């Protein structure tokens, strides 16, 4: 029997057409285009069902409640299909891939998120190849993860970042090797998989919480940071320099961070660098963060740290437990670290 794949079409460039205002989603258009792709009718391809969301979204409009809708859509159809493809815009694709990895606990079927940089309506496009290959992988490979497929590489969803606005290799997994590569053959790196041994799938929706991100820059004012860290903010990911450094000579800034941590704000330090990990003990300019209560995000992407924070707050954990679990690998989002002996 042919495998069956469920396609959740949320929107994005892949199915857009050109209007007077630029590219925009067009209801029914992608389905029509797919009916004309002969490869999708091949007996070697899985059968597919496509659910076109209403309204279709430019991914700039993606929100946590829409992540929950995607997760629930997958759960509702989980037992009827061998794999799932989520068609999504590229702007927030890495956020959605990270969020779904935490929302879909007990996943043991592939969920492949893909899209394109050029719409399928254009003669030269990357939409066709991404779509066909994502369906093939979802139907024929028992990958137990939320993945992102783009530019001939299959990446772990919660390890991805968008690195280019106009290149076809738009995504990278800077701190984790690809789960698969596509050339003449499709090669899956099974030893890199994150296996979840739970017997059934469980959906964890994200509740409404005040969470944010802040990127440090030379000359950042302590009063600006203080205003950002005020209630009702509950948690924030700070993008620090290098391996977790901040301007440690800025005593006012240190005092603001210390006060916020003491009042129960969860602050996680990630790096502004594309590759590498936060090590708060490497330099004096980073160790001060650990002393005032800031948590290391190790080698998590900002997208993964942010969505993980949503997940932990939504599970109802207290602040102490959230700080602890932010440093624990839950869904393959970070590389476990051994504490250094001094």
CA distances from 222 to 118, 161, 256, 265, 323 (A): 43, 29, 7, 16, 23
Please state the φ and ψ torsions of residue 233, each to the nearest 5 degrees. Answer: -60, 135
Annotated active-site residue in 10, 13, 240, 277: 13
Longest dimension (CA), the chain: 67
The DSSP bridge partners found for residue 5 are 48, 83
Establish whether the linkage from the previous residue to 57 is cis, with ω within 30° of 0. no
Q: Assess whether 13 carries a catalytic annotation.
A: yes
Please state the φ and ψ torsions of residue 162, each to the nearest 5 degrees. Answer: -85, 125
Contact 206, 103 (CB under 8 A): yes
Contact 8, 85 (CB under 8 A): yes
Q: Cα(41)–Cα(153) distance, rounded to whole angstroms?
A: 24
Q: What ranges make up the beta strands (E) of the chain?
A: 4-11, 16-19, 22-25, 47-57, 83-87, 104-105, 111-114, 146-150, 153-156, 161-162, 171-172, 180-182, 186-188, 202-203, 211-215, 235-240, 266-271, 295-296
b (16+ CB within 10 A) / e for 182-220:
beeeeebeeeebbebeeeebeebebeeeebebbebeeee
Contact 326, 117 (CB under 8 A): no
List of residues 6+ apart from 51 with CB closer than 8 A: 6, 7, 8, 9, 73
Question: Where in the sequence numbering do the catalytic residues fall?
Answer: 13
């Amino acid at each position: 029997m042919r495998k069956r794949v469920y396609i959740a079409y949320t929107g994005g460039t892949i199915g857009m057409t050109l209007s007077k205002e630029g590219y925009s989603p067009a209801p029914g258009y992608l389905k029509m285009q797919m009916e004309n792709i002969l490869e999708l009718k091949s007996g070697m391809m899985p059968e597919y069902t496509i659910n076109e969301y209403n309204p279709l979204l430019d991914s700039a409009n993606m929100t946590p409640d829409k992540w929950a809708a995607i997760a629930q859509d997958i759960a509702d159809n989980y037992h009827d299909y061998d794999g799932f493809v989520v068609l999504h815009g590229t702007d927030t694709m890495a956020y959605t891939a990270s969020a779904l990895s935490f929302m879909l606990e007990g996943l043991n079927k592939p969920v492949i998120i893909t899209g394109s940089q050029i719409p399928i309506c254009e003669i030269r496009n990357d939409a066709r190849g991404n779509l066909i290959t994502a369906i093939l992988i979802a139907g024929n490979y028992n990958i137990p993860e939320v993945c992102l497929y783009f530019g001939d590489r299959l990446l772990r969803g919660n390890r991805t970042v968008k690195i280019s606005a106009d290149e076809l290799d738009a995504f990278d997994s800077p701190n984790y090797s690809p789960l698969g590569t596509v050339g003449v053959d499709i090669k899956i790196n099974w030893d890199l998989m994150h296996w979840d041994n739970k017997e059934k799938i469980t959906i964890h929706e994200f509740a409404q919480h005040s969470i944010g991100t802040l990127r440090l820059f030379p000359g950042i004012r302590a009063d600006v940071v203080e205003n950002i860290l005020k209630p009702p903010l509950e948690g924030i990911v700070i993008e620090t320099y290098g391996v977790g450094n901040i301007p440690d000579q800025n005593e006012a800034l240190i005092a603001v961070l210390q006060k916020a941590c003491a009042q129960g704000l969860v602050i996680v330090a990630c790096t502004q660098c594309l590759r590498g990990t936060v090590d708060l003990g490497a330099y004096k300019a980073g160790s001060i963060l650990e002393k005032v209560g800031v948590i290391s995000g190790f080698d998590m992407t900002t997208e993964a740290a942010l969505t993980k924070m949503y997940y932990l707050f939504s599970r109802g954990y207290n602040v102490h437990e959230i700080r602890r679990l932010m440093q624990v690998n839950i869904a393959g989002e970070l590389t476990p670290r051994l504490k250094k002996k001094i």
